[in-house]
Amino acid sequence: VKFQLTILGCGSAAPTTRFNPSAQVLNINENLFLIDCGEGTQMQMRKFKIHFQKIDHIFISHLHGDHFFGLMGYLSTQHLLGRTRELNLYAPAAIEQIIHVQLKASETYLRYPLKIIALTSKESEIILDNKIVTVNTIPLKHRIYCNGFLFKEKPRARNIIKQKIKDFNIPIYKINAIKNGEDFTLENGTVIYNSELTKAPSPARSYAYCSDTAYFEKIIKIIENVNLLYHESTFIDSDKTRAKETMHSTAFQAAEIAKKANANKLLLGHFSARYHEFQIFLDEAKAVFENTELCSDGACFEVE
Ligand SMILES: [Zn+2]
């Protein structure tokens, strides 16, 4: 089952020819989740062949333009393409007015229900819980109200061993119950225990998105043991004063968080346009946390 992250943009502030501003798509078994929607996100989706009709949930971390200026265009395109299915938008509360004023001015009446889930809490909360995933907010430390998002795959049912179906003549209608942990009783009354009939599913996977934020240890507890962590690293260590002033992080600080949270893998992104070489981000992070990679637009990361 797929659990794959595609980076659509990993630059900060204004778009450049090198990087689009922040946007990512998480694909969990062909259910797509859009995370932030910087300017140009629609075009990146076309370029990297993201099937955007499959997106039913959009998560916006905060209302700095480089994280949401692509949203209105995206919502409008969904309307033009004839979407009728509900779209869920999780974002800081002011998004409601921002969208409303633009729709009103253009006298647009969306063909699909847009359900806005206004985020206001400063504590971590569950904002989505369905058959596929649980999503928690990760309150971050930034110049304005900002949340990261933790995606946790739902634990899957046990895998039934095919040979056992034949061996014990298990009827089809019993299979779901067995996958969910039930034992099977033969006609002669012998109980075959579930552990003999099934194998444990692979463990549920998780992804944490943390942008934008100053170095903030409070998030460690929320993201503990995450499989894949994206943590912003707008700056390198020699610009850490600038990082502090603007409430962003350095590559070294991102790696410190990854290490303290016992993450499996770290992705760096949200790079400032002041840099032209990126190896130094990797070197600084790897000195603290070895399993680190740099994002680039179009890059895909799979969690096995
Ligand atoms: Zn920001």
Give 26-40 pLDDT, tens digit per residue.
Answer: 999 999 999 999 999
Q: From the CA of 64, how far away is ligand 1's center (Å)?
A: 5
pLDDT at 52 over 90: no
Q: From the CA of 57, how far away is ligand 1's center (Å)?
A: 21
Grade residue 148 by pLDDT with cuts at 50, 70 and 90: very high
pLDDT at 156 over 90: no
Residues 87-134 pLDDT 10s: 999 999 999 999 999 999 999 999 999 999 999 999 999 999 999 999
- The SS3 call for residue 68 is coil
Residue carrying structure tokens 């998480």? 26
Q: From the CA of 62, how far away is ligand 1's center (Å)?
A: 7
Instruction: Compute the average pLDDT of residues 166-188.
Output: 93
Q: From the CA of 145, how far away is ligand 1's center (Å)?
A: 9
Instruction: Compute the average pLDDT of residues 163-186.
Output: 93
CA 263/CA 270 separation, integer angstroms: 19
pLDDT at 194: 96
**Before 183, cis peptide (omega within 30)?**
no
Q: Which of the residues are catalytic?
A: 66
CA 295/CA 301 separation, integer angstroms: 9
**pLDDT more than 70, % of the chain:** 100
CA 64/CA 147 separation, integer angstroms: 12
**pLDDT more than 90, % of the chain:** 93
Q: From the CA of 156, how far away is ligand 1's center (Å)?
A: 36
Instruction: Compute the average pLDDT of residues 43-71.
Output: 97
pLDDT at 268: 98
Grade residue 64 by pLDDT with cuts at 50, 70 and 90: very high
Integer CA distances (angstroms), 167 to 162, 175, 273, in order: 9, 14, 63
pLDDT at 157 over 90: no
pLDDT at 202: 84
pLDDT at 53: 87
CA 84/CA 228 separation, integer angstroms: 33
Lowest-confidence region among 83-92, 154-163, 219-228, 248-257: 154-163
pTM of the predicted model over 0.95: no
Q: From the CA of 245, how far away is ligand 1's center (Å)?
A: 12
Q: From the CA of 223, how far away is ligand 1's center (Å)?
A: 20
Token pair recorded at residue 245: 């002033």
Q: From the CA of 177, how far away is ligand 1's center (Å)?
A: 48
CA 192/CA 154 separation, integer angstroms: 27
Q: What is the largest CA-CA distance in the chain?
A: 76
Contact call for residues 9 and 37 (beta carbons, < 8 A): no
Residue carrying structure tokens 């943009």? 9
Which residues neighbour 59 within 8 Å (Cβ) at sequence distance 6 or greater? 33, 34, 35, 36, 90, 91, 135, 149, 209
Instruction: Compute the average pLDDT of residues 249-255.
Output: 98
pLDDT at 46 over 90: yes
pLDDT at 304 over 90: no
Q: Checking DSSP bridges between strand 31-37 and strand 23-28, what pairing results, if any?
A: antiparallel
Q: From the CA of 183, how far away is ligand 1's center (Å)?
A: 53
